[in-house]
Structure 1
Amino acid sequence: MPIPPPPLIAVVGPVETSLLAAWVAHYRHLGIERFLIAFHFPDHVPDAQRHDLQAAVRELGILPAGMSIGPWHEHTDTELRDALRHRAGPGWHLLADADEFQQYPAPLTEVIAHAESSGHRVVGGLMLDRITADGSLTGWQSDRGLDLAYPLGGHLTHRLLHGDPRKVVLARHDVVVASGNHRAPGNRPDMDRLCAVHHFKWRSGVLEDLRRRVQHFTSGTWQEHTPAVREEATRLLEHIDQHRGVINASDTRFAFRRVSLGHLPSGWAEEARGVFTAWRPYAHTGNH
């Protein structure tokens, strides 16, 4: 019996309608047919932007599963995501944020079949941060495409921000997945078959979002479980200030090079395995 494509589960915030359209097209190209999307908008997002995004997703043939407005507490995404997973029902679930474009070493149904035959209940991925050629945080024209706008891929999340670059990209319905889809306690993916999670976060508007995040988590307006998210945002803001408003694409620590959504980076399996297995949580000291 052939394995059906999994439903895609996502909590979507105030992204550009062009990014959302590209994201949906990307996953449809991978074979996804069912999208379970919930929107969550912090209070500062204008009514017009909320309406535009909801209209845009309907124009793409997707009926949003829900919409909420309010503080973006650290637990908000997890609760909304788990409600969507419950609605999705039995089988495999694909988990992706709206700025994450997953790239697999084989067709999606083959990836799931291999996981099942090898006894894995999750499939793992590793973040590959995408930036512009000069590291500037700019917008993009949809007619140019993401690969042209953000041609470089590297390891910014963990080597600068000390964030967790590991992702659970596919999980059985009965597997509990932690906040941010970073891990599934008690379940380990196949380290030799990690997907690349192209991470298009570093765009126009991200600095305002990060400053707002630091402000609200520091004041307690938004609830946090640990200071990790706030400290990661602060590290990026400090880096930008030190490099005249851009990400330092030439810093060899980040291993930025030209990549594409069309094919996995050269040597990806070995590179991803090395990062995934070596990564350890950062020791939070209260300092930045």
Structure 2
Amino acid sequence: MLSAPPALIAVIGPVEPPLLAAWVRHYRRLGVERFLIAFHFPDHARDVQRHELQAACRELGIIPTGTSTGPWHEHTNTQLRDALRHRAGLGWHLMADADEFQQYPASLTEVVTQAENSGHRVVGGLMLDRVAASGRLTGWRPEGGLDLAYPLGGHLTHRLLHGDPRKIVLARHNVTVSSGNHRAPGHRPDADRICAVHHFKWRSGVLDDLRRRVQHFTSGTWQEHTPAVRDEAGRLLSHVGQHSGVINTSDPQFAFRRVSLDRMPFGWPSEARNIFTAWRPHAHTGQD
């Protein structure tokens, strides 16, 4: 018997409304029926931006569970996410940021049923960073879609930023998930069934966001647990500074190639398994 579709849990910042619309459509196509969304707007977000995003959410038929404003401390996202999970109740929870488009080799209900049958209480994912063919941090046109604007997928998060590319994409309601949805202490996903998490972060405006993050965490305006997030932002800024403002898509270590949300990347199960099992935190991130 197939399990019920999981509830989607997301804390969303000031993204562009077309991204939210594309994200909702993507997860509805996967079979998601329940969306529990909380908006958090840091102080730099403009009122018109907040109102447009909230209106776009309602037009999509989703009533936000809550909206908050203020500093984006490192613990902010976790606290809001856990409140949403509590409200979601029993069953499986799917966790995704607004720039994360998960891709599975089977239907969500089949993925959940397989996890249950094999005794796993979590399902893992691996970030696949999507960028423009030129490496430029560009905007995108909704009518063209994300695949057209950001056709390349590669491994930027861990090979350049030294960030954790692993994600807990699905978890039972009573499984604790760490900050950033990277781990579930005491639970290991099936490394042979890692989903692809297409990561559309590298769009127009992200450099300003990263500079702001470095500034606020360095000054203490935003509280951090470790310097990891600030360090990752600094590495991306340094990289584009050395490459005339673009991501160097020709560097073989990043393994950029053309991918699509319509089909799993070629050879993904073994590629994801190798990275997922071999990844270790950078020396000073403070993660285990």
* TM-score normalised by the chain length of structure 2: 0.98
**What residue is the counterpart of 1:32 in the other structure?**
32
**What residue is the counterpart of 1:245 in the other structure?**
245
The alignment's C-alpha RMSD in Å is 1.0
CA contact (8 A) 2:13 2:40 kept: yes
**What residue is the counterpart of 2:156 in the other structure?**
156
Read off the aligned partner of 1:186 and give its amino acid letter: G
**What residue is the counterpart of 1:235 in the other structure?**
235
Listed as ranges, the matches of 1:49-198 within 5 Å are 49-198=49-198
**What residue is the counterpart of 1:220 in the other structure?**
220
**What residue is the counterpart of 1:276 in the other structure?**
276
Q: How far does residue 2 in structure 1 lie from its aligned partner after superposition?
A: 3.5
Q: How far does residue 188 in structure 1 lie from its aligned partner after superposition?
A: 0.2
Q: Distance in 1 between matches of 2:201 and 2:285?
A: 26
Q: Distance in 1 between matches of 2:7 and 2:52?
A: 24
CA contact (8 A) 2:156 2:254 kept: yes
Per-residue displacement from partner, 1:167-216 (whole Å, max 9, x unpaired)? 00000000000000000000000100100000000000000000000000
Structure 2: where are the runs of 5+ without partners? none
Q: Distance in 1 between matches of 2:108 and 2:191?
A: 17
Q: Distance in 2 between matches of 1:59 and 1:46?
A: 20
Q: How far does residue 285 in structure 1 lie from its aligned partner after superposition?
A: 8.5
Read off the aligned partner of 1:110 and give its amino acid letter: E
Q: Distance in 1 between matches of 2:2 and 2:172?
A: 17
Provide the secondary structure at the position in 1 that maps to 2:167. Answer: strand
CA contact (8 A) 2:227 2:285 kept: no
Q: How far does residue 3 in structure 1 lie from its aligned partner after superposition?
A: 1.2
Percent identity over paired residues: 78
Q: Distance in 2 between matches of 1:188 and 1:54?
A: 36
CA contact (8 A) 2:94 2:170 kept: yes
Q: How far does residue 284 in structure 1 lie from its aligned partner after superposition?
A: 1.8
Read off the aligned partner of 1:205 and give its amino acid letter: G
Provide the secondary structure at the position in 2 that maps to 1:226. Answer: coil
Per-residue displacement from partner, 1:252-285 (whole Å, max 9, x unpaired)? 0000000000010000000000000000010129
Read off the aligned partner of 2:234 and give its amino acid letter: T
Q: 1:257 to 1:106 in 2, by over 3 A?
A: same
Read off the aligned partner of 2:98 and give its amino acid letter: A
* TM-score normalised by the chain length of structure 1: 0.98
Q: How many residues align?
A: 286
Provide the secondary structure at the position in 2 that maps to 1:263. Answer: coil
Q: Distance in 2 between matches of 1:2 and 1:242?
A: 51
Provide the secondary structure at the position in 2 that maps to 1:125. Answer: strand
CA contact (8 A) 2:131 2:153 kept: yes
CA contact (8 A) 2:2 2:110 kept: no
Read off the aligned partner of 2:144 and give its amino acid letter: R
Q: 1:143 to 1:174 in 2, by over 3 A?
A: same
Q: Distance in 1 between matches of 2:2 and 2:231?
A: 45
Provide the secondary structure at the position in 2 that maps to 1:87. Answer: helix
